[in-house]
Amino acid sequence: MNLQHANLFQGREGFEVWHGDLASSCGTFHVEPPAAPINRFRGAVTALDSQRSHIEGARITSNCSHVHRSLRDIRGDDKDFFYLVMQLSGEALIRHSDQETRLGRGDLVLLDVARPSDFYFRGLSDQVSVILPRDEVLQRFREPRLRLNQRIDARSAIGGMSAMLMNQLMDNRDLASSEAEAVLDAILALLRPVLAPRQDEPLIAPPPALMTKAKAVIERHLADESLSPERIATAAGTSVRNLHRLFAQHETSVGRYILERRLSRCAQAILQSEVKITHIALSWGFKDLSHFSRAFKSAFGVSPSEYRGRRG
């Protein structure tokens, strides 16, 4: 692989710069410095040249002992993608999606930035991480669930060919966008037998950050009568199909969830204010007042005016 690092950062100041570069490229992580004194730190983060290679990601080198991404980090980030990691040198122990995986030189693994992760290293480790937009991966696999954190052995036929293509993707700066996309398609096609779930495997729950993000979008725009699954999916960084699938796995639908949230806000306003019920309904996104009245009575067992009469 010809992707060259600049000189490795060293010492305490180098560690701080490296940590910031890691967050910019891959998201928020908490990092334990190497077991040795901090002045022995060595590391670098080199972002892939997306304008020339048409892919995003980074080469990450360090002698840190532990890199961790928690649920709090995930909630504070706007990152939402899969990332394909290839170990270039050194060894790594990865804990992700309730599974522990060891990577050696040339091994690959698919991870989800919206799930907690722990990386443990001994000595100097060198990895390359390629960012894969969630929608593109799910569309290619046509599957809402993937076998994350499954080691793809560099010595296997699939692992060896995938690693060769990964190297070609990094090394050939003159690939056209369509050519780079074709190489990436070939890599994902090779990995599909390893990453697609077996029929007897239980469904892996969608990343909690994605549902949290979708609900936050709905809350921000709840009063907007034009709020739609398309707008929610775009703002949450997923596809409409995946958004519907996500809510279905929580035994509801996007429309039903929006309706329930609007009715809840209306009920609260009816009890806590003297504002006309018609105005409350319109202000929370209801265009059809007859529909509002029917939905309210179905949810609360009484009409909106009878509900207001319960104040005492």
What is the rounded distance in angstroms from the CA atom of residue 220 to the CA atom of residue 210? 15
Give pLDDT tens digits for 83-125: 999 999 999 999 998 889 999 999 999 998 888 899 999 889 9
Residue found by looking up tokens 């809510």 in the block: 247
Q: Helices (DSSP H) in 120-239: which residue ranges?
A: 134-141, 157-171, 177-195, 208-220, 229-236
According to the model, what pLDDT value does residue 7 have?
65
**Tens-digit pLDDT profile for residues 32-47:** 877 667 778 889 998 8
Of 173, 195, 217, which marks where a domain is finished?
Answer: 195
- Domain final residue pick, 138, 170, 195: 195
Of 84-93, 138-147, 274-283, the one with minimum mean pLDDT is 138-147
Interstrand relation of 99-103 and 92-96 (parallel, antiparallel or unpaired) = antiparallel
Looking at the fold, whether 38 and 186 belong to one and the same domain comes out as yes
Domain match, 186 and 298 both: no
Alpha carbon dihedral 211, 216, 222, 225, in 10-degree steps, equals -70
Structure tokens at 243: 């958004």
Q: In what order do the strands lie in the sheet with 117-121?
A: 30-32, 66-69, 117-121, 92-96, 99-103
Confidence of residue 6 (pLDDT cuts 50, 70, 90): low
Q: Please report, as a single letter, which amino acid is at residue 137.
A: V
- What is the domain range of residue 63? 9-195
User: Which residue among 195, 221, 237 closes a domain?
Assistant: 195
Tokens of 58: 């980074």
Both 164 and 298 in a single domain?
A: no
Q: 201 lies in a domain?
A: no
For residue 2, name the pLDDT band (cuts at 50, 70, 90): very low
> Chain centroid to CA 46: how far?
21
